[in-house]
Amino acid sequence: MARLKVAVIVGSARQASLNRLLALALTRLAKADLEFEWVTIRDLPIFDQDVLDAGIPPEVERLKGQIARADALLFVTPEHNRSISAMLKNAIDWGSRPRDASVWAGKPAAITGASYGRIGTAAAQQHLRAILGCLDVAVMGLPEAFIHLHPGLITPEGEVTNEETRLFLQGFMDQFDHWAGRFAGKPSAAA
């Protein structure tokens, strides 16, 4: 069976983003039946209905095309003031319009995020679940992955240096693989 295309959406454009690093680690830990396409969201204009009504901007067309082609979505969100970043919310809003042409509906997804703070983006992830719920995105329930990152836990190449964390993230990706596969009609590995 063909590999499943996963769109990777990181809610930070920061050069040294913890969440980009986490996303890189997750893609490295995934099984070979998942292939990843990184989605750029930093260049999207701020959502404005007047802009949309005047014609979909090319950056938005690119976003919508990438999401539409994806079999599944991997969101890796920073926490900004106990919610997701404005940049990520903006991308989600663009993808949801025009109302009858939302690219999100029916896609399976997994969400996670990293911060140096102890709660590891738990509050942001709860908000993200609520937002994606109203867009009919099927977010994997468990495992939850609130990553309390500390310097050196993930190398710049995306290697996880702590064995316990590596196994946990591996399990998260295995479950996501299973979850995405169910939506694509793949037989369960356990069957």
The binding site for ligand FNR (CB under 6 A) comprises: 12, 14, 17-19, 78-82, 115, 117, 119
Find the shortest distance in angstroms from Cβ 85 to ligand FNR.
8
Q: Which is nearer to ligand FNR, 122 or 135 (by Cβ)? A: 122
C-alpha span between 191 and 187 (Å, rounded): 7
Residue of 177, 138, 174 whose CA lies nearest to 4:
177
Q: What percentage of the chain's residues is helix, strand, coil (to nearest 5)? A: 40, 20, 40
The DSSP letter of residue 48 is -
Question: Which SS3 state, helix, strand or coil, does residue 105 take?
Answer: coil
Q: Which is nearer to ligand FNR, 58 or 152 (by Cβ)? A: 152
Q: Which is nearer to ligand FNR, 42 or 69 (by Cβ)? A: 42
C-alpha span between 64 and 97 (Å, rounded): 10
Q: Which is nearer to ligand FNR, 49 or 81 (by Cβ)? A: 81
Find the shortest distance in angstroms from Cβ 99 to ligand FNR.
30
- State which residue has the least CB distance to ligand FNR: 117
Residue type, 74: L
Find the shortest distance in angstroms from Cβ 14 to ligand FNR.
4
Among the residues of the chain, which ranges form H helices?
18-29, 49-54, 58-69, 86-95, 122-133, 163-183
Find the shortest distance in angstroms from Cβ 149 to ligand FNR.
8
Q: Which is nearer to ligand FNR, 112 or 115 (by Cβ)? A: 115
C-alpha span between 157 and 24 (Å, rounded): 8
C-alpha span between 26 and 65 (Å, rounded): 23
Find the shortest distance in angstroms from Cβ 78 to ligand FNR.
3
